Chains A and B, each alone.
Chain A
Amino acid sequence: MTDRRAERAAERRRRDRRGLLIATVSTVVVIGGLALAILTSPGWEDVQRTFFSWEVFRDSFPDIFKAFWLDIRVFMVAEVAILILGLIVALARTSTAPALFPLRLIAVVYTDVFRGIPTILLVYLIGFGVPALVSSSTESGGALDWLPTEPVILGGIALTLSYGAYVAEVYRAGLRSVHPSQREAALAVGLTERQSMRHVVLPQAVRSVGPPLLNDFIALQKDVALIAIIGVTGEAFRQAQIATAADFNYTPLLGAALLYLAVTIPLARMLDRWQRSRDR
């Protein structure tokens, strides 16, 4: 009995060792072959000079890194605003009270419209349209002077409106995913409809939508770069563009790409872990 067990364990170990060996050899051959092919190809030196120049990277990266701080701040502020806006829109859409019908209608139109417009178009429209509106209003009495004209704020508003529509739909799916028996159980213990939403359905919905929300935020983190098109200075993508324009070397853009990856990859891993722990 014990011999059989030892025999099997030994066989299993042998098989594991062989698998590891094969994986190692195959990886070295494939990756090494690819690297060799690239590095010895005739155009490699030009590619390296244009995209992977260490000198250019060293000179441009500190400024891009500093500029990336603005991306992070816009991302964080927009994220909070989006979570709030999305929740309000989702609750408005799932409400049933007759008095809230106009709110329901606005919520439906909002999600349909803003989810259907390209984010870049929205950033452009708000980022340039609102300042134009304010300056024409100043000429005719200044009724709209209170509107913000700061590109970074307008960009943040545009991102919030665009992503708010997505996040509202995520919340709504979460609300629908809570089984109706939960609402009934809440009503049965004497809660009102509103209380059962607030204390029973909503907490469960919010928990269930964590991973899809995080997914939207990974996308948002990248789209913050869009505010560069409306003249937000000191933003990482814009900064990289400026550095690139100096001598037609594209290494700074790759530097900026590294910074975005430094945020999005950990977020993506977090999302994976989160989902795995919930599937268990």
Chain B
Amino acid sequence: MSPPVIEIRGVTKSFGELQVLGGIDLAVEEHEAVALIGASGSGKSTLLRCVDLLTEIDDGDIFLDGEVITDPSVDPVGVRRRLGLIFQAYNLFPHLNVLDNVVLGIHKGQGVPRSEAEAAARELLARFGLDGREDDNPERLSGGQQQRVAIARAFAARPRAMLLDEITSALDPELVGDVLRAVRELKGEGVTMLLATHEMGFAREVADRVGFLHEGRLVEVGPPEQVLEDPQTPETRKFLRRLLDAGRA
């Protein structure tokens, strides 16, 4: 049996005195989507950034396709080329048009010839409903459109896994749907995903498993029906009840 695409073992991370991750164990299998839920500051984003090697872990190991990626001897560039990270705030390149935002990584990063990279980028943008916007400055797009450009940008190199960091949190409610549709499409293609989200409906629909993070620990992991409908730990129950009271679940 092949190893999990992403495997996180005993990962800890502190920023100064503050421990953000207190020993995380989690594996994401091929074609699987795992959603991390939890309050702000519970460590969801930090964990995703650690997997993409943008934040260095303190202890433990992270494996990609069975190879350790968190040793200092590993070239982070090669690892990031096999992963696709999408940020909460899109982080598109404001000096490049929509097309070049998608092209830059595959052309300069992956070394795909420019014409091929452009063709691939056009096709992908069209799939996410952005045809005709290729020459626009990203700042002229709505938040939902910008985030779909970011999805295309991260997916363009067909990464082994996609990391989605609260990709709908910065969006107006009426724009969330289009972005979620794009993610659903990725899921339909069998893309392996590890995602952090505030949208319980989204987690329920897209995720094969849901993990609840509480103060830097994975308190509960299981199928969405179980974690979201019949939580086993008091922390999860409390978190979900608070969401329910706020009308978010």
Binding site for B on A (CB under 8 A): 181-182, 184-192, 195, 199-200, 203-204, 207
* B110 interface hit (Cβ, 8 Å): yes
Which of B11-19, B29-37, B81-89 binds A? B81-89
B residues 49-97 near A (Cβ < 8 Å) are 52, 54, 76-77, 80-81, 83-85, 87, 89, 91-95
- Chain B: which residue is nearest A202 at the CB level? B95
* B167 interface hit (Cβ, 8 Å): no
Cβ–Cβ contact A181 & B80, under 8 A = no
Q: How far is the CB of B113 from chain A (nearest CB, A)?
A: 16
**Listed A/B pairs (23) with beta-carbon separation below 8 Å:** A182-B91, A184-B87, A184-B91, A185-B87, A185-B93, A188-B54, A188-B83, A188-B84, A189-B80, A189-B105, A189-B109, A189-B153, A189-B156, A190-B77, A191-B104, A192-B77, A199-B104, A199-B108, A200-B95, A200-B104, A203-B95, A204-B93, A204-B94
A182 CA / B77 CA spacing, docked (Å): 16
* B154 interface hit (Cβ, 8 Å): yes
Cβ–Cβ contact A185 & B108, under 8 A = no
* B157 interface hit (Cβ, 8 Å): yes
Given A185-B93, A191-B108, 18 more A-B residue pairs with CB atoms under 8 Å apart are A184-B91, A187-B54, A187-B80, A188-B52, A188-B87, A189-B104, A189-B105, A189-B153, A189-B154, A189-B157, A190-B77, A190-B80, A190-B105, A190-B109, A191-B105, A192-B77, A195-B108, A204-B93
Cβ–Cβ contact A190 & B93, under 8 A = no
Cβ–Cβ contact B91 & A195, under 8 A = no
Most chain A C-beta atoms within 10 Å of own C-beta, residue among B76, B85, B108, B154? B108
Given contacts A200-B93, A207-B95, contact A190 B85 (CB under 8 A): no
A26 CA / B83 CA spacing, docked (Å): 69
Cβ–Cβ contact B95 & A190, under 8 A = no
A169 CA / B54 CA spacing, docked (Å): 28
A192 CA / B76 CA spacing, docked (Å): 9
